[in-house]
Structure 1
């Protein structure tokens, strides 16, 4: 059976898709739950933003070493161990929920006999007490997100490198889109899981189910993903956080990724549950957590469909640049629609456009990077691209959540509409400087890969 008109992806890629799909539950489950937990646990909006973005800040120092390790040792071990680490991190969310909140500690202090050692210790300002800070839920959520960042750095660098290893110029866009689709399809499943299951059975149940699937991912990878990244030379370069690929193609694609993920993950996903609550928008009678899970799932499903479509189209055209620019414009339109959304229909349309813009760029963008990057540097190039994306995704919550408190939703969403257009300008300038044309062919860099 064909895959969008081409042969079915290799079995190895199907295993990569399955693994990244299962582990993606843990990535999506936190977004419908954690923003509302801020009020319950007494966590500030800034702290919620720090927790949501912590995994991306960790990847800033982990992405480059992960890419370098792939180029030195191959893809199999980093991929399998990265998935396992993400599964363990998802279990950390369950642990976090079992930790006492600040209010619980104050209640305990009040319940203890006055003047007792326990009353004095627990009754002190909790954030000034190291033991209380260590058991606080936000500490464990933060640790889990840090661990997730370490695992996902390895998974992202290896998944794209595997796709590049198994592709040529005629299948690269499709395979990159397929792998990216696998990485992100688990995310909407996690969004739905986090929203609906938490509404029906509680937050702990949602995190537990997500952890079970995430741990299953490493088993699938261990069984079905072999080594693919075998190069003629294994470099002995030291592995450092700053060992990024500074070639123009890697920097250009990285800047595009920065702009898209700042708006998409950093702003939209981090604020949607709050937007729904303020505007009293609901689906199927669900609360803002459940409704945001459905909307975000729809956004990512739209992205996944257009990842495959965008990648496939780029493989059938002489140049990948036009399809990239088209979907960047679609993303811009989506955020403009979001800025004026006031109903379920308006919001659904905006989410479809934003998802289509984000997804439609993913396959062609990674394929363009692989077109212009030597095979023995693809691990580092993938890591560099992830560094830029994580800066965008990490800054987004920390910037957007406090600013929305100050100026409201519409101005922030309208500002996000400018970022895809700026990314398009960076793309054109970088491609022109590297290849001498705005419309390089799909085989522009193949000579470097042989």
Structure 2
């Protein structure tokens, strides 16, 4: 593995994941309403929105094992290009007599590509960062991954209102394909491979750190990416709240974008704060509490200002968790198993994100928005309990010092068996 410049590598990963993120966000403001026009039931819309996450439940583990076996560069480039082609499939769906089939197929392909992108992006960052600055680096990369998503939300909402849904999808696909070319030109190999050993696709990391961070991810993705993103456009329509004269579809794009932007900013804040403090757990607990407060606000908000404040709190809360959580995983995981550990973490997060729309759309229809959002407020609190229990089990401390918890420690090695 040749010499690499850590800062340049991190910046390259951020740029690539930003551009490809457009395709991830563009579908959310469009499909819930488009489902009615195309004759797709709310349940099937939920399946389509969640399909990429369900695919990643299966693909994340092989993607992580593949990274540990062949390195990061080739899977990263391949994943970005697959996502670009998948986004083109949305336009095929619009012109098809079976739109639900093509939307579903495109989301499946997107899931395969994003499994490769997520496994490689975090592993690359772990490879080139040190413990003292890892929270900041992870925060920047996680923010880069998510910054493209709000751009896609705005693209989907505004461009579909001003021009057409087809134009919005085509722009997202173009940006995604550009990201693959950018990766080919700028991202080097960073990961020592296990090419000489036999690595089974199901060889995932079931260590306490991987399972702990994964369960926290499960709760956050279920409530945030699963419930909030799938139901916000419906909430706006029910409560008659709009912004700048846009429909519920366009307004939801703005609000979701603001939520994700807040999350991206606080990913940087959370990661940097955990580095300065020299500990991850207090920062994680503080932001989990903020996410809880945001969902309580959503349950009762009945104005544009109230909804905006609540969405920003939810976004900032889940975002502030992102950097320190991935840094904690890298702190406590041996380098040669980081691909697998990232796969485990992503699997559990995608289970939560995939279940969210399927559970929330019928639940909102049957129970209303208030009880659903109130229930989501308790999920970050449960995640905090899991975080404390898992950290204590692995380290013997509730708040381990980053400076003395290196991934190569004997304890970490013993606990990383699959």
The reply to whether TM is greater than 0.5 is yes
Q: Deviations over 1:222-251 (max 9, x none)?
A: 0000100015775312223xx321100000
Q: State whether residues 131 and 406 of structure 2, in contact with CA within 8 Å, keep that contact through their aligned partners in structure 1.
A: no
Q: Does 2:130 align with 1:168? A: yes
Counterparts of 1:63-102 in structure 2 under 5 Å?
63-100=60-97
Give the match for residue 284 of structure 2.
Answer: 324
| Structure 1 contact 282–291 (Cα < 8 Å) conserved | yes
CA RMSD of aligned residues (A): 1.3
The aligned runs of 1:247-396 (5 Å cut-off) are: 247-396=207-356
- Please tell me whether the aligned partners of residues 70 and 193 of structure 2 are also in contact (alpha carbons under 8 angstroms): no
1:291-321 C-alpha deviation (Å, 9 max, x unpaired): 0000000000000000000000101112110
Uncovered stretches (5+) of structure 2, i.e. residues with no partner: 414-418
Which of 121, 144, 154 is the matching residue for 1:159? 121
What CA deviation, in whole Å up to 9, does each residue of 1:249-288 have, x standing for no partner?
A: 0000000000000000000000100100111100000001
2:18 maps to: 21
Tell me, yes or no, if the aligned pair for 2:223 and 2:356 is still in contact at 8 Å. yes
> 2 CA distance for matches of 1:258 and 1:234?
34
Partners of 1:69 and 1:239 within 8 A in 2 = yes
Q: CA–CA distance in 1 between the matches of 2:342 and 2:407?
A: 17
Deviation per CA, 1:346-386, whole angstroms, max 9, x where unpaired? Answer: 00000110011010000000000000000000000001000
Deviations 1:127-180 (A, max 9, x none): xxxxxxxxx101000000000000000000000000000101111000100000
* Alignment correspondent of 2:406: 445
> Rg larger in 1 or in 2?
1
Say whether 1:412 aligns with 2:361: no
In the TM superposition, what is the alpha-carbon distance from 1:99 to its structure 2 partner?
1.0
The Cα shift of 1:38 comes to 1.2
- Distance (Å, rounded) in 1 between the aligned partners of 2:319 and 2:382: 17
> Counterparts of 2:199 and 2:121 in 1: how far apart (Å)?
22
Q: Residues of 2 paired with 1:230 and 1:159: CA distance? A: 15
SS at match of 1:347: helix
Superposition TM-score, scaled by structure 2 size: 0.95
How many pairs are equivalent? Answer: 406
Is contact 1:73–1:234 with CA below 8 Å preserved after alignment? no
2:392 to 419, 428, 432: 432
Q: Normalising by structure 1, what TM-score?
A: 0.89
Partners of 1:425 and 1:255 lie apart in 2 by: 11
Query: Contact 1:9/1:175 (CA < 8 Å) preserved in 2?
Result: no
Q: Name segments (4+ residues, structure 1) moved above 6 Å.
A: none
Measured in 2, the distance between the counterparts of 1:155 and 1:265 equals: 18
Q: Deviations over 1:198-228 (max 9, x none)?
A: 0000100000000000000000000000100
Q: Which residue of 2 aligns with 1:200?
A: 162
Instruction: Find 1:397's aligned residue among 350, 357, 368.
Output: 357
Superposition pairs for residues 145-156 of structure 1, below 5 Å? 145-156=107-118
In structure 1, C-alpha distance between the alignment counterparts of 2:193 and 2:184, rounded to whole Å: 22
The 8 Å contact of residues 157 and 382 in structure 1, kept in 2 or not, is answered as yes
Q: Does the CA contact (< 8 Å) of 1:21 and 1:185 recur in 2? A: yes
The residue matched to 2:131 in structure 1 has which SS?
A: coil
